[in-house]
Homo-oligomer: A and B are copies of this chain.
Amino acid sequence: MIIEHAGKRPAVHLTSSVAVDATICGDVTIGPNTRVLYGARIIGENGGQITIGSNCIVMENAVIRGTPRHTCTIGNFCLIGPNAHVAGAVLEDEVFVATSAAIFHGARLGQGAEVRPHATVHLRTCLPAGVIVPIGWVAVGDPVHILPPERHEEIWEVQKPLNFPDWVYGVPRDTPHWMQQVTRSLSESLAVLVSDRIVREDCETRR
């Protein structure tokens, strides 16, 4: 379904198509010949922008999110795998995000980058063109470190100064009870949910 959210309505190119049980919501622009498969969620949260190019495939139950702080831009010929998550990142052309991979806010993935199943590309990480993140590994930082999960100490050394709570939610990690600040502010901004309006129910979107 196509949902108007926070006063913004998705624009899907007439040659693209959206499965009947997928959701496109808010300030989302989708180019030609892109396919959004069953159960995928493409959510421009509270005015957050998402742009997806041509010939992209967004697979079953994938989640793509843009927020007011972090626009999400996906180029042409990209594939976002089943159960994958892309939030507030920039993907150049021909990027492959495999099953259950996760890409975070402010990441930039160069042309032809490949993020394998269960891998993570963390916030503000720059993945150069053509680089592969192996199954279950973590890419973090700029310049990027690509490490297996057991090398947590090294991952955290790079990740900590990137300051996830501050970058993503505007609440520095050393704020007392930072989770209270984060969730309160999300709760307030997401109150806009009540004004959501279904624009179209059907699978084909022509405009």
Q: What residues on B are CB-neighbors of A180 within 8 Å?
A: 55, 77, 94
- Does A85 have its Cβ within 8 Å of any Cβ on chain B? yes
Q: What residues on B are CB-neighbors of A1 within 8 Å?
A: 20-21
Q: What residues on B are CB-neighbors of A39 within 8 Å?
A: 23, 39, 41, 61, 63
**Which of these, B148, B155, B193, contacts A150 with CB under 8 Å?**
B148
A179 touches B94 (CB 8 A): yes
A198 touches B134 (CB 8 A): no
Give the total of A residues in contact with B, Cβ under 8 Å: 70
> In the assembly, how many copies of this chain are there?
3
Interface string of A74-117 (1 = CB under 8 A from B): 00011100110101000001111001101000000000100001
Q: What residues on B are CB-neighbors of A93 within 8 Å?
A: 179
**Which of these, B65, B190, B198, B203, contacts A82 with CB under 8 Å?**
B65
B198 touches A204 (CB 8 A): no
B155 touches A134 (CB 8 A): yes
Interface string of A1-29 (1 = CB under 8 A from B): 10100000000000001111101010000
In the complex, 14 of the A-B residue pairs with CB atoms within 8 angstroms, ordered by the A residue number, are: A23-B39, A25-B38, A37-B190, A39-B61, A56-B183, A60-B63, A77-B179, A77-B182, A82-B87, A94-B177, A100-B118, A112-B179, A137-B152, A150-B150
Closest 5 CB pairs of A and B: A148-B150, A136-B149, A94-B179, A134-B152, A17-B193
Supply 18 further A-B pairs (C-beta < 8 A) apart from A60-B65, A94-B183: A1-B20, A19-B196, A21-B41, A23-B39, A35-B187, A35-B193, A57-B190, A60-B85, A77-B179, A77-B184, A79-B179, A79-B182, A79-B183, A83-B83, A85-B100, A100-B100, A120-B136, A148-B150
